[in-house]
Amino acid sequence: MTVKTYKVAGISLHNGKYKVRYANNKSRANVLTKNGHTNVELVVLKEALPKEDIIDQLLNHTFKTPEGNLAIKLEAKELGFNL
């Protein structure tokens, strides 16, 4: 089984809901904005990582809004983290 990896991750607000976003380059922010997303915050990672490792890092990152930080915690729970 191939594990997908990503070099960029963060959050965005779309239709009133924050979600975690994964990408392989920072230009994804432009695509998200073009499609109506706001409050886009992406973090460039040192290396490509699977979602679980990314979330582990992002749990220690502080986003600009409490809702953005909550989105990371919810994603962590969906991925099986015990918080």
Q: What is the pTM of this model?
A: 0.91
Any idea where the domains of the chain sit in the sequence?
6-78
Measured over the CA atoms of residue 22, residue 26, residue 17 and residue 37, the dihedral's sign is: negative
List Cα–Cα distances, 50 to 3, 7, 22, 41, 42, in angstroms: 7, 9, 10, 19, 16
Residue 1 predicted with pLDDT over 90: no
Q: Which amino acid is at 37?
A: H
Token reading at 4: 């997908």
Residues 32-77: tens digit of each pLDDT? 999 999 999 999 999 999 999 999 999 999 999 999 999 999 999 9
